[in-house]
């Protein structure tokens, strides 16, 4: 499938972005990457903040490609699943991992506190930081007018 097919299915909407909008997303991601290291916050909450940074990384790539997530049910799922379609098929493993993080975050946010381990948080932080740096390089290379 293509992003165009996803838009036809209602999972994405066409969207024309701007350098200002991309900069705002970058600031959100950087805020979250900073905030998830705040001492005194629960591991669950820090994980949720790191997950939010990952989700915004995926949104940033969608914006660059001319789309935004739909407001329909499953929005986080499709946003994450779009990563290999935006930045490249090499990101399928990260996409799969972030989908696992999505379900873990849902459990810790809605069902049961204390379900996230420090090891899980550390892995997500490492993954999101690396993903964000790769996305910044990708944007500079393929969408230089947006930075």
Spatial distance between the Cα atoms of 117 and 143, rounded to a whole number of angstroms = 37
CA-based torsion, 100, 106, 109, 115: positive or negative: negative
* Confidence band of 2 (pLDDT split at 50, 70, 90): very high
Of the two residues 72 and 131, the one the predictor is more confident about is 131
Q: Express each pLDDT in 41-96 by its tens digit.
A: 999 999 999 999 999 999 999 999 999 998 876 788 999 999 999 999 999 999 99
Nearest 5 degrees, angle CA 49-CA 123-CA 22?
Answer: 45
Judge whether residue 1 has pLDDT over 90: no
CA distance 97 to 2: 21
What structural domains and CATH numbers belong to the chain?
18-142 (1.20.120.330)
Given a cut of 80, whether residue 40 has pLDDT beyond it is yes
Tell me the whole-structure pTM to 2 decimals: 0.95
Contact 135, 57 (CB under 8 A): yes
Residue length of the chain: 147
pLDDT tens digits along 10-33: 999 999 999 999 999 999 999 999
- Answer left, alpha or beta for residue 41, where phi above 0 means left and psi between -120 and 50 means alpha: beta
Is the model's pLDDT at 124 over the cut of 90?
yes
d(CA 23, CA 41) in angstroms, rounded, equals 27
- Confidence (pLDDT) at 73: 63
Query: For residue 131, with 0-12 CB atoms within 10 Å meaning exposed, 13-18 middle and 19 or more buried, which class applies?
Result: buried
90 contacts: CB under 8 Å, gap ≥ 6: 84
Structure token digits, residue 19? 């350098």
């Amino acid at each position: 499938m293509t992003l165009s097919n996803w838009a036809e299915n209602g999972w994405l909407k066409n969207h024309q972005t701007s350098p200002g909008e991309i900069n705002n997303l970058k600031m959100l991601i950087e805020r979250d990457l900073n905030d998830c290291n705040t001492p005194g916050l629960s591991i669950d909450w820090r994980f949720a903040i790191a997950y939010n940074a990952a989700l915004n990384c995926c949104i940033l790539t969608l914006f660059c490609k001319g789309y935004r997530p739909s407001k329909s049910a499953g929005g986080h799922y499709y946003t994450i699943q779009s990563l290999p379609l935006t930045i490249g098929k090499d990101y399928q493993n990260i996409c799969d991992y972030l989908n696992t993080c999505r379900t873990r975050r849902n459990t810790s946010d809605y069902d049961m506190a204390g379900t996230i381990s420090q090891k899980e948080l550390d892995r997500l932080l490492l993954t999101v930081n690396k993903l964000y740096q790769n996305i910044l390089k990708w944007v500079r290379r393929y969408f230089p007018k947006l930075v």
